[in-house]
Amino acid sequence: VQLHPSSDDVRIQIVEESMTVLRHNDLGGYTVPAHGLYPFQWNWDSAIVASGWAVFDEARAWQEIESLFSGQWEDGMVPSIVFHKPSTTYFPGPEIWGTKEKPSKSTGITQPPVAAMSVRFLYEHADDPLLAMSEAGKLFPKLLAWHRWFYKARDPFNTGVVAILHPWESGMDNSPAWDEPMRFPVDNLQPYVRCDLNHVHPEMRPTKETYDHYLTLLYRFKNANFYDPDKLYHISPFRVTDLCVNCILFRANRDLRWLAIKLGRQEVVAEIDAWLDKGFQGFESLWDEEAGIYKCRDQITGKLCPAAISAGFLPLFAGVVSEKRAARLVRTLEQWLEQVKYGVPSMDPADPRFEPLRYWRGPVWIIINWMISNGLKHYGYDALANRIKDHSIALTSESGLFEYFNPVTGEGEGGHDFSWTAAMSLAWMD
Ligand code: 9WN
């Protein structure tokens, strides 16, 4: 079959394949990102996947978010992974995390808070407004509790931007932005066996040295009274102001505010407005004028993380950028795109650390493309926004519904039949 992004037949085929992938990855009320490689419910994956389900099964879409919040902690945190059923194909699983419940029901860290954005999306696109009203009404206090947790546990000094304490919390696990903050010495670890390398080639995944750092953090957090949030912020050797989490949190706060008004919860609007005002100021300290992009900041050293990464464009998605800076970001993005066939690479392709195959150190991720494209539209850069969407359609239709893609060759990499790539095909690229 000659695949071409503009052909209707191809689009119909992708939509059908995407629905098949979501059904296939459905374990009964929640969707795994990919069988084998990721056999549990992941936080931001599920929130994104809900928008895909919404296109053809509204009730199932709401159920996805509800099942994610079934893992919410009493203090409001929503963990990065919920372990509904055991599985032996992922490491580190529940036996390693060992949270207070026995058996462990989740990890002890979080992930980018996409859920409020998804609840608004589901509400706005609802064919069943009564269901939407009742589901959004049930979820609203849970979303609010999670956002409150972020500010209390991860911004105790009220800077307006929150910290991540583990690269897994950013969703961009082995991003080059973490190279400097991850230079802390690793602890003496028990020997361990990774499962990811049974599913994908080692060239695509983080290195052993990176995993040793991930596990050092995990065990230190577990030893701190089982992931006690008041302790973690102070003991973690890795503490970073991450752009992915902060831009998503900012945008999600705007959607939470929108929901508060729709649901008659005006009394919380002032609290959300305060987060937005303070957050807006917080982004100022992350702009690198010379590089023409936003950067993450290492809170331990106080320095900006030198690597320019795709999350550096996400302030467009948050909507915290001046017109002048938006123009500068667009110039930077165009320079990146000149160097690869398909955008948006996860790091600056001119950086010597750029690796087109390795996870968050080069490859294109469709969910990030959606966010960047959405932000560009908001600032009036429609042609560039559409170019990124066309690249995304070309990648999925020519290579398949992979976890991520090589920006130089367009080949699909990592896991295949991947849920959030399928969901994006349904909710964004249709
Ligand atoms: C750790 C599931 C998750 C995504 C992350 C992605 C990857 C896990 C891993 O897979 O992370 O959470 O083991 O590599 O980096 O963004 O949520 O798709």
Cα separation, 71 vs 83, whole angstroms: 8
**Residue 277 CA: distances (Å) to CA of 160, 274, 318, 376:** 8, 5, 13, 22
Cα separation, 18 vs 65, whole angstroms: 19
CA of 51 relative to ligand 1 center, distance in Å: 19
Answer yes or no: 273 catalytic: no
Residue 7 has pLDDT above 80, yes or no: no
CA of 187 relative to ligand 1 center, distance in Å: 23
Considering 58, 135, 298, 403, which one is annotated as catalytic?
403
Cα separation, 201 vs 412, whole angstroms: 13
Cα separation, 389 vs 404, whole angstroms: 15
User: Is 323 buried (19+), middle (13-18) or exposed (0-12) by CB count in 10 A?
Assistant: exposed
Ligand 1 within 6 A of 169 CB? no
CA of 163 relative to ligand 1 center, distance in Å: 19
Q: What is the pLDDT of residue 11?
A: 82
From start to end of 199-351, where are the E strands? 240-241, 287-288, 293-294, 297-298
Ligand 1 pocket mutation pick from 31, 48, 89, 173 by most atoms within 8 angstroms of CB: 173
Q: What share of the chain is helix, strand, coil (3-state, %, to 5)?
A: 50, 5, 40
Residue 1 has pLDDT above 60, yes or no: no
Q: Helix and strand tally (H, E) in the chain?
A: 17, 8
User: Is 237 buried (19+), middle (13-18) or exposed (0-12) by CB count in 10 A?
Assistant: middle
Cα separation, 418 vs 133, whole angstroms: 30
Model pLDDT for residues 249-289, shown as the tens digit of each residue: 999 999 999 999 999 999 999 999 999 999 999 999 999 99
Cα separation, 40 vs 317, whole angstroms: 28
Q: What is the pLDDT of residue 10?
A: 80
Residue 316 has pLDDT above 50, yes or no: yes
Q: Which of 385, 383, 355 is nearest to 371 (CA)?
A: 385
Cα separation, 424 vs 122, whole angstroms: 14
Q: What is the pLDDT of residue 252?
A: 98
Q: Which of 11-20, 213-222, 361-370 has the lowest mean pLDDT?
A: 11-20
Task: State the chain's mean pLDDT as an integer.
Answer: 96
Domain locations in the chain? Answer: 8-427
Q: Does domain 8-427 have CATH number 1.50.10.10?
A: yes
- The closest residue, in CA terms, to atom 14 on ligand 1 is 173
Ligand 1 within 6 A of 135 CB? no
Q: Which of 187-196, 304-313, 329-338 has the lowest mean pLDDT?
A: 187-196
Ligand 1 within 6 A of 171 CB? yes
Model pLDDT for residues 93-144, shown as the tens digit of each residue: 999 999 988 888 999 999 999 999 999 999 999 999 999 999 999 999 999 9
Residue 33 has pLDDT above 50, yes or no: yes
Backbone φ and ψ for 382, nearest 5 degrees, come out as -65, -40
CA of 7 relative to ligand 1 center, distance in Å: 32
CA of 172 relative to ligand 1 center, distance in Å: 8
Token reading at 57: 């099964």
SS3 400: coil
Cα separation, 285 vs 282, whole angstroms: 6
ipTM of this complex prediction, to 2 decimal places: 0.99
Residue 6 has pLDDT above 70, yes or no: no
Q: Which of 4-18, 57-71, 149-163, 343-357 has the lowest mean pLDDT?
A: 4-18
Answer yes or no: 403 catalytic: yes
% of the chain exceeding 90 in pLDDT:
93
Residue 4 has pLDDT above 80, yes or no: no
Q: What is the pLDDT of residue 104?
A: 86
Backbone φ and ψ for 190, nearest 5 degrees, come out as -60, 145
What average pLDDT does the segment 183-207 reach?
A: 92
Q: Which of 332, 329, 356, 355 is nearest to 342 (CA)?
A: 356
Q: What is the pLDDT of residue 2?
A: 37
Residue 345 has pLDDT above 50, yes or no: yes
Token reading at 53: 């389900």
Residue 48 has pLDDT above 50, yes or no: yes
This prediction's pTM: 0.97
Ligand 1 within 6 A of 92 CB? no
SS3 179: coil
Name, in order, each residue with C-beta under 8 angstroms of 123's C-beta and a sequence gap of 6 or more: 132, 133, 136, 259, 262
What average pLDDT does the segment 8-13 reach?
A: 83
- The closest residue, in CA terms, to atom 16 on ligand 1 is 171
